[in-house]
Amino acid sequence: MNFDPGQIGAVGQTVFVPKEGEAGETRVAASPETVKRLAALGFDVVVETGAGRASRITDSDFQGAGAKIGKAADAARADVVLKVRRPTDAEIAGYKSGAVVIATMDPYQANASLNRMAKVGLTSFAMEFMPRITRAQVMDVLSSQANLAGYRAVIDAAAEYDRALPMMMTAAGTVPAAKVFVMGAGVAGLQAIATARRLGAVVTATDVRPAAKEQVASLGAKFIAVEDEEFKAAETAGGYAKEMSKEYQAKQAALVADHIAKQDIVITTALIPGRPAPKLVSAAMVASMKPGSVIVDLAVERGGNVEGAVAGKVVTTANDVKIVGHLNVPGRVAASSSLLYAKNLYAFLETLIDKETKQLSIDPEDELVKATMLTHGGKVVHPNFQSVSAGDAAATASPAADPEIAKAAKGTEPGLDVAPKKTRSRSAAATAKPAGTRKAPVRKAGSAKPGGGKA
């Protein structure tokens, strides 16, 4: 990493929290609790008026915690900017040179934005690139948001499904339990499993990692997969899924196709960093489902896992199957997701503060900095984006430059699913709690490459 520590140090004490500029973004990057903690670190905190309204946090709530309420133009004097999404071009132009910007950057296919941040002189950090280490678990935005996305996916499915989810035995007769199939047993998938089980559904799930079988079973769901010798060897020592053979893919696809036809609700969670989401559910599979069935596609912002899914819409097919394609699913529970996200950002920012001087002091050798820093000193410095230099907007960044950082960088889309960290001793049930403390690479329900990782 090309980094001159002399270019950043005791750069000031103002933190600015803007109202998100992207349409449909309801979350905010601070909470009254984190404002109090930032003030305790010595920062003056300025929150743009209305920034927390969609998250049920009022200006007076922020003021009561010690923040000043300002306007968008106040970003020009901020030393640190905390955001949910990557800043817009207009926002970047309004920041001062040397400012630190921390957000979920979603940098792949965003070379122009990276160039602009570098040209302005911003030191920017991508929270979704946080490495898989114990000290970074509290900073894990992917897990905190994926937990809530998995929960909300089930709630949305239940709202569209015109029957009861639990089995009900009454004097008038018995209502059968709904059958829910979750594709991907990462953080979002496990939370979806746990939520559907709490609502009384009969739940099955699939994943290409053998370790997922035990996690799924611990939540009371049935694991569905072709469990041959190749499957048993499908996970690396680091918890990543190996690429599966075409023969295995064909067998797994046939099993899934047969299973989907019998389901009432299907939830898919597969995303691939920097690429379109893999197609897991074909039009033929959708056509095989019963009228009134529901599919929730959590990957719709990246093209979707389901053929026929439309971003931002609920589509009803010719055979009366609803395909739910809501955008920004964590933002559909903004009051909860904002609280968790704000804690993630605070935990990271705290590591950048010198405890004696209470000033920003960024260590270029810190593993968190190495994994997450995108731009600094007028340059794009992240190893995965070395081809993206100022004035080279045509360059295409690769998501697999440095092997170690590439592992940390797997999962660049807000709200995507990640696999629970393999080395932790907590149960899979704990993973499914919306606490956002798991750190892991992205998992794809179907394949990272054809037949690869899972959600």
User: What confidence score (pLDDT) does residue 241 get?
Assistant: 58
Residue of 31, 124, 143, 338 marked active site: 143
Considering the domain architecture, whether residues 306 and 368 belong to the same structural domain is answered as no
- Catalytic residue list contains 288: no
Residue of 137, 249, 252, 338 marked active site: 137
Residue of 240, 248, 341, 346 marked active site: 240
- Catalytic residue list contains 354: no
Considering the domain architecture, whether residues 119 and 195 belong to the same structural domain is answered as no
User: What confidence score (pLDDT) does residue 413 get?
Assistant: 36
Considering the domain architecture, whether residues 345 and 313 belong to the same structural domain is answered as no
Considering the domain architecture, whether residues 345 and 282 belong to the same structural domain is answered as no
- Catalytic residue list contains 143: yes
Domains identified in the chain, total number: 2
Residue 416 lies in a domain: no
User: What confidence score (pLDDT) does residue 158 get?
Assistant: 98
Residue 144 lies in a domain: no
User: What confidence score (pLDDT) does residue 408 get?
Assistant: 38
User: What confidence score (pLDDT) does residue 439 get?
Assistant: 37
Of 327, 361, 396, the residue that ends a domain is 327
Domain ranges, residue 287: 161-327
Of 297, 327, 357, the residue that ends a domain is 327
Residue 438 lies in a domain: no
User: What confidence score (pLDDT) does residue 211 get?
Assistant: 85
Return phi, psi of residue 320, to 5°. 65, 40
- Catalytic residue list contains 140: yes
User: What confidence score (pLDDT) does residue 111 get?
Assistant: 92
Considering the domain architecture, whether residues 309 and 340 belong to the same structural domain is answered as no
User: What confidence score (pLDDT) does residue 303 get?
Assistant: 93
User: What confidence score (pLDDT) does residue 393 get?
Assistant: 45
pLDDT in tens, the chain (455 residues): 555 544 444 345 899 999 998 999 999 999 999 999 999 999 999 999 999 999 999 999 999 999 999 999 999 999 999 999 999 999 999 999 999 999 999 999 899 999 999 999 999 999 999 998 999 999 999 999 999 999 999 999 999 999 999 999 999 999 999 999 999 998 999 999 999 999 999 999 998 888 889 999 999 999 998 887 777 776 655 555 566 788 887 888 899 999 999 999 999 998 777 778 889 999 999 999 999 999 999 999 999 999 999 999 999 999 999 999 999 999 999 999 999 999 999 999 999 998 888 889 999 999 999 999 999 999 999 999 977 664 454 444 555 444 443 443 343 333 346 666 554 433 333 333 333 333 333 333 333 333 333 44
